[in-house]
Amino acid sequence: MHLTRFAPLLLTTLFCGGVVQADEVQVAVASNFTAPLQAIAAGFAKDTGHTLVAAYGATGQFYTQIKNGAPFEVFLAADDTTPARLESEGDTVKGSRFTYAIGTLALWSAKDGYVDSQGQVLKGNGFQHLSIANPKTAPYGLAATQVLDKLGLTGQVKGKLVEGQNITQAYQFVSTGNAELGFVALSQVYKDGKLASGSAWIVPAQLHAPIKQDAVILNKGRNNAAASAFMDYLKGPKATAIIQAYGYQR
């Protein structure tokens, strides 16, 4: 798991002679949202003075850590079911959960021209390794298995699957050439309306269950002003613009 600290540009903000103390918020973030969150966190720090400390990993693993007392105050999941489960189990602040992004799955190769725009490369079966995230803990991995099932290719590619612990590791298998292609989050290979590198098939949404990504304030963040401020910022226009720039829907 990778920890990143975003230091604020201002530690205090003055209003009418008073001082508003900056706080720190600990955020558990699904790996697919790494790049957008880094950009959002920089703006959040600049605009509010609060510090955001992010941990990136698989949604299922974060659930286990949260249940075991991890110090996270806000959870940005890669699905809507895990935050809803935590909510039903009394681990969140009621009324704080909302969908911050709807993810898009992509079949991607680091090689130009390797993946065609219709994904026919899957049916051709000429590859040796197909990378996916662990479907038991990573919602994008689960979506990948749903696509393979829908296309009737599960049996054909079974012996070629390379599983990453999360979507970041699945991406790394492809980017390093350990797998010719793999299912990744579009946000990992997409920026400002275009593919950053390689070749990709943007998987039609009807081939898998919607990847609704929910955010929620956890009990540990109940009285943290930075946690509430971050959730408000995440709903705002600056964060929305960044989220959409990485290929997500709102």
Query: For residue 6, what is the domain's CATH number?
Result: 3.40.190.10
Residues 129 and 169 in one domain: yes
The reply to whether 139 and 219 lie within a common domain is no
Are 215 and 184 found together in one domain? no
Does residue 30 sit in the same domain as residue 82? yes
Q: 62-71 contacts: CB < 8 A, separation 24 or more?
A: 62/28, 62/30, 65/28, 66/28, 66/91, 66/218, 67/91, 70/28, 71/26, 71/220
Return the pLDDT at 21.
62
Q: Do 196 and 128 reside in the same domain of the chain?
A: yes
Domains in the chain, number: 2
Query: Quick check: 186 pLDDT over 70?
Result: yes
Residue-wise pLDDT for 56-94, tens only, equals 999 999 999 999 999 999 999 999 999 999 999 999 999
Angle between helices 139-150 and 167-175 (to 10 degrees): 70
Confidence of residue 193 (pLDDT cuts 50, 70, 90): confident
Residue 243, pLDDT > 80, answer: yes
Helix axes 59-67, 81-88, angle to 10 degrees: 10
Q: Please check whether residues 55 and 72 belong to one and the same domain.
A: yes
Q: Is residue 28 part of a domain?
A: yes
Burial of 163 (0-12, 13-18, 19+ CB in 10 A): middle
Do 167 and 239 have their domain in common? Answer: no
Q: Which residues pair with 56 in a beta bridge?
A: 2, 29
Instruction: Give residue 12's pLDDT.
Output: 28
Q: Which domain holds residue 130?
A: 105-202
Question: CB 58: neighbour CB atoms within 10 A?
Answer: 28
- 174 vs 134: CA distance, rounded Å: 15
Q: pLDDT at residue 5 above 50? A: no
| Cα–Cα distance measured from residue 92 to residue 237, given in angstroms and rounded to the nearest whole number | 25
Residue with the bigger pLDDT between 1 and 226: it is: 226
Q: pLDDT per residue over 88-136, tens digit each?
A: 999 999 999 999 999 999 999 999 999 999 999 999 999 999 999 999 9
Instruction: Clarify whether residues 98 and 118 are in a common domain.
Output: no
- Are 94 and 35 in a shared domain? yes
Read off the pLDDT of residues 197-219 as tens digits, 9 standing for 90 and up. 999 999 999 999 999 999 999 99
What gap in Å lies between CA 35 and CA 191, rounded to an integer? 10
Same domain, 49 and 171: no
Residue 78 lies in a domain: yes
In the chain, % of residues over pLDDT 70: 92
- Residue 241 to residues 16, 43, 78, 120, 205: CA-CA distances in angstroms? 31, 12, 19, 32, 21
Nearest to 75 by CA among 62, 85, 88: 62
Let me know whether 6 and 97 are in one domain: yes
- The pLDDT confidence band at residue 6, using thresholds 50, 70 and 90, is very low
> 203: burial class by Cβ within 10 Å (0-12, 13-18, 19+)?
buried
Instruction: Please indicate, yes or no, whether residues 195 and 109 belong to a single structural domain of this protein.
Output: yes
The pLDDT, as a whole number, for residue 250 is 85
Closest CA to 230 of 134, 132, 100: 100
194 in a structural domain: yes
Asked, for residue 250, whether it belongs to a domain, the answer is no
